[in-house]
Amino acid sequence: MSLGLTRLGDGVKILRMKRIVLTVLVLAFAATICAGCKTRKRFPDPDPGWHSADYTVLFGRLQRVPSRVADNAPVWVLRFGMGRDAYHGEVALTPAERMAGYNGGELVEVRGSLKADFNSPDYSGTGFDVQSIRIWAGYVGK
């Protein structure tokens, strides 16, 4: 079988070809693995928020919950804990006008008081009368 190569040169050239093929395969494999590494995964927050002992200061994620009735305004909910926590870890924020400029998803600190007489057809949980709301300084949007 003559490929136009000398006997001594054949072995060297075959080794070089094997090395090149192996290098290409390793690089292709590494590129495939690295592409998967760049995929960003979103996990739920392990600790969604915090509250003071008397629930006058709450820190958590603001959520805009659409109304069941098309004409009603959305309900603004602050998630500050888990379902096993007091108030199931969330309260509805009132008045809704204080949430102007927010979209939902922001980490915020609210100050105010729990509302025992809160009643809404769109939310069956506890209400919270907001005195002040501010975005958390360390918050970076999604």
Q: Tell me what pLDDT residue 77 has.
A: 94
Compute the average pLDDT of residues 96-117.
Answer: 91
Q: Please, which pLDDT band fits residue 59 given cuts at 50, 70 and 90?
A: very high
Q: What's the CATH number of domain 50-135, 3.30.460, 1.20.1740, 2.40.50, 3.30.300? A: 2.40.50
- pLDDT at position 83, please? 76
Q: Which residues, other chains included, contact 60 with Cβ-Cβ below 8 Å and sequence gap of 6+?
A: 48, 49, 50, 78, 79, 80, 81, 90, 107, 108
- Exposed e or buried b per residue across 52-85, where buried means at least 16 C-beta atoms within 10 angstroms of its C-beta: eeebeebbbbbbeeeeeeeeeeebbbbbbbeeee
**pLDDT at position 131:** 96
**Do residues 126 and 103 touch, judged by C-beta distance below 8 A?**
no
Identity at 20, one-letter amino acid code: I
Residue 34 has pLDDT above 80, yes or no: no
pTM: 0.63
Paired residues of 127 in beta bridges: 92, 115
Contact present, 141 and 112 (Cβ < 8 Å)? no
Using the predicted structure, report yes or no on whether residue 130 has a pLDDT greater than 80.
yes
Give the CA distances from residue 3 to residues 8, 15, 19, 43, in Å, rounded to whole numbers and listed in that order.
13, 15, 20, 58
Q: In the structure, what pLDDT confidence band is assigned to residue 42 with cuts at 50, 70 and 90?
A: low
pLDDT at 133: 93
Q: What is the pLDDT of residue 16?
A: 80
